[in-house]
Amino acid sequence: MDLQAFQKEGHRLLDWITRYLGELERYPVLARSKPGQVRASFPSSPPGEGEPLPRILEDVERLIVPGLTHWNHPGFFAYFSISASAPGILGELLAAAFNVNGMLWKTSPVATELEAVTLDWLRQMLGLPPGLFGVIQDTASASTLVALAAAREAVPGLEARRRGLVGQARLRMYASEEAHSSVEKAGLVLGIGQEGLRKIPVDGAFRMDPAALARAIGEDRRAGWTPFAVTATVGTTSTTSIDPVPRVAEICAGEGLWLHVDAAYGGAAAVLPERRSVLAGCERADSLVMNPHKWLFVPIDLSVLYTRKPEVLRAAFSLVPDYLRTPEDAVAPNLMDYGVSLGRRFRALKLWMVLRAFGQEGIADRIREHIRLAALFRSWVEADPGFEVAAPSPFSLVCFRARFPGATPEEGDRRNEALLDAVNASGEAYLSHTKLGGRTTLRLAIGNIRTEERHVRRAWDLLREAARTGRG
């Protein structure tokens, strides 16, 4: 493809994207494809000869779009609603154009140094203490894996790096029953095993019970385990509950355990001066993850891992063959030393573009509006006798369910599931569910940059209508 053709097709594609973003509401937010249907619409063997780009782009509309669930749709309220802002999209485009691999400082100095600059800006925006080292990972799952690998590395006398874990101390780590599955998954990868994660009970507001944590650590020590890490969550996945980090930090300090904080979703709220307290106690954490791709309008993927102990991360991960040595090794960081992968995308570029385009105040305004919309939705649920809220809403997620008087709990669950299916089939809104106390619970998560009050209102109307139908 010559550059002229690139320019022409590039403009066409950008025009198409512009139209797409402007007309998102024309599409059903949740894809209507059946399993296997998309695949069957593609040829089963690769194209022999190259095809002209216009033809390929036509197939984007014809073959790709029908199989999309539109995460950028303003009616997307499922999971944690995430969205790509326009500056973030352009940042991705630019990163692909540069196509640098930031594995070493030398392989693209700006990739390493812009990462340091943007992560220090973000640290300040979140009110975290100076001196934290930040490194970008793809996802929070990777950040937590890397953090817990560092925690394992920090266990005195363990030598996991040299000897592996066989025949060594039985390690145990802790997280609440509501912690994200990525903590358990990190345990699988690190040889801690599922038994090596002890899940701590939560209180009525789904927050880790610190007294139960302290008791569990004591019991485990007596039973011959070696406790080594606690993951506390600021904004759990099911309900966005906030573990009592200051108290957990005290326990970790007293017991000599690594404290990792999962603020993948909730951390973003600390950009608001009036919400900075959500990260109270996190200044004492050994590591903390927050995901700009969740609630900071940066396109997926971009997760940030902060740590007070970068030397421990390095000790866990640095492995430098001869062909990767450079004269600058002693004076400049090589970010391959702080995670699993060698190659690294230039993710800091899109974060830099988003932070500059919105500014701290622009981001805070949008997050504040999402919190307002969630409070408004919650007030509607509370005022309607046909519904009930199921958990506190410290951020912009509301957990609730429809009431079906006279129905058994199982029947109530089934009807709530049917209600959810009906709303999601409308194409105008997409919500997801969780289980709380064994009961099916609906979640309305607000976080999409394009969501306005009218979209939340429409979702509520759809929910009420579906509940009415479900009650017969």
Task: Work out whether 395 is an interface residue with ligand PLP (CB under 6 A).
Answer: no
Least Å distance, CB 332 to ligand PLP, is 28
Distance CA 66, CA 56 (A): 15
Stretch that binds ligand PLP, among 55-63, 228-236, 391-399, 416-424 (CB under 6 A): 228-236
Do you know the residue count of the chain? Answer: 472
Size of the site for ligand PLP (CB under 6 A): 15
Nearer to ligand PLP, 80 or 228 (CB): 80
Task: Work out whether 233 is an interface residue with ligand PLP (CB under 6 A).
Answer: yes
Task: Work out whether 451 is an interface residue with ligand PLP (CB under 6 A).
Answer: no
**Mask: binding to ligand PLP, 297-326, rule CB under 6 A, as x and -?**
------x-----------------------
**Mask: binding to ligand PLP, 65-94, rule CB under 6 A, as x and -?**
---------------x--------------
Task: Work out whether 262 is an interface residue with ligand PLP (CB under 6 A).
Answer: yes
**Mask: binding to ligand PLP, 140-159, rule CB under 6 A, as x and -?**
xx------------------
**If we measure between CA atoms, which residue out of 324, 257, 316, 277 comes closest to residue 106?**
324
What pairs with residue 434 in β-bridges? 441
- For 253, other C-beta atoms within 10 Å of its C-beta total 11
Task: Work out whether 360 is an interface residue with ligand PLP (CB under 6 A).
Answer: no
Least Å distance, CB 69 to ligand PLP, is 15
Helices within 126-176 (DSSP H only) = 140-153, 160-163
Nearer to ligand PLP, 233 or 440 (CB): 233
Burial 111-141 (b: 16+ CB within 10 A, else e): bbebbeebbbbbbebbbbeeebbbbbbbbbb
Task: Work out whether 180 is an interface residue with ligand PLP (CB under 6 A).
Answer: yes
C-alpha distances in Å from residue 99, one per residue of 91, 233, 265, 297, 382: 12, 35, 28, 22, 50
Distance CA 283, CA 273 (A): 16
Least Å distance, CB 151 to ligand PLP, is 16
Nearer to ligand PLP, 44 or 181 (CB): 181
Q: Chain-centre distance of CA 399, in angstroms?
A: 18
- For 236, other C-beta atoms within 10 Å of its C-beta total 29
Q: Which of 107, 287, 291, 434 binds ligand PLP (CB under 6 A)?
A: 291
Least Å distance, CB 141 to ligand PLP, is 3
Q: Which of 72, 118, 237, 393 binds ligand PLP (CB under 6 A)?
A: 237
Nearer to ligand PLP, 77 or 265 (CB): 265
Least Å distance, CB 363 to ligand PLP, is 19
Q: Are 112 and 345 in contact (CB under 8 A)?
A: no
10 Å CB burial of residue 334 (0-12, 13-18, 19+) is: buried
User: DSSP E strands: which ranges in 83-239?
Assistant: 133-137, 171-176, 197-200, 226-233
Task: Work out whether 290 is an interface residue with ligand PLP (CB under 6 A).
Answer: no
User: DSSP E strands: which ranges in 238-285?
Assistant: 258-262
Q: Which of 85, 182, 239, 241 binds ligand PLP (CB under 6 A)?
A: 182
Q: Which of 33, 69, 139, 226 binds ligand PLP (CB under 6 A)?
A: 139
DSSP secondary structure letters along 283-349: GG-SEEEE-HHHHS-PPS--EEEEES-HHHHHHHH----GGG--TTTTTS--GGGGSS-S----THH
Least Å distance, CB 235 to ligand PLP, is 6
What pairs with residue 287 in β-bridges? 260, 307
Least Å distance, CB 394 to ligand PLP, is 13
Stretch that binds ligand PLP, among 133-141, 272-280, 354-362, 410-418 (CB under 6 A): 133-141
- Here the tokens at position 376 are 């408004």
Nearer to ligand PLP, 104 or 371 (CB): 371
Task: Work out whether 265 is an interface residue with ligand PLP (CB under 6 A).
Answer: yes
> In 3-state terms, what secondary structure has residue 422?
helix
Nearer to ligand PLP, 237 or 441 (CB): 237
CA-based end-to-end distance of the chain: 60
Nearer to ligand PLP, 210 or 235 (CB): 235
Least Å distance, CB 289 to ligand PLP, is 7
Binding region for ligand PLP (CB under 6 A): 80, 139-141, 180, 182, 233, 235-237, 262, 264-265, 291, 303
